[in-house]
Amino acid sequence: MTKSLRERAEAATKEVQEILGISVDTHPKEIADALEKTITMALLEERRRCADVASKCYGEDRDKAHKVAEEVNRVNTALIANLSALR
């Protein structure tokens, strides 16, 4: 089963707490929120980078470049909606 981003952030939180030797009660929500935000921002930056690369690759074919950019934007919108629903 696929884990949600929040589940991954919470698992990483536990790992961080273990590594640091701190109690699992020490700011778990804040750590998970920070991890989730960082992962989200990285995903969005990669999506933008992919759109830029696709645009450059299809520079001569504006129609294909536009279609690829639209698909990347559609995936971004879905990602943001799914992440917002997790909160």
- Residue span of the structural domain in which 47 resides: 5-86
pLDDT value of residue 40: 83
pLDDT value of residue 21: 92
User: How many other CB atoms sit within 10 Å of the CB of residue 31?
Assistant: 19
Instruction: State the pTM of this model.
Output: 0.61
- Taking phi over 0 as left and psi of -120 to 50 as alpha, with beta for the rest, 61 belongs to beta
The domain tally of the chain equals 1
* Residue 82, pLDDT above cutoff 80: no
- The 10s digit of each residue's pLDDT in 16-63 is 999 999 998 889 899 998 888 888 888 888 888 887 777 777 777 778
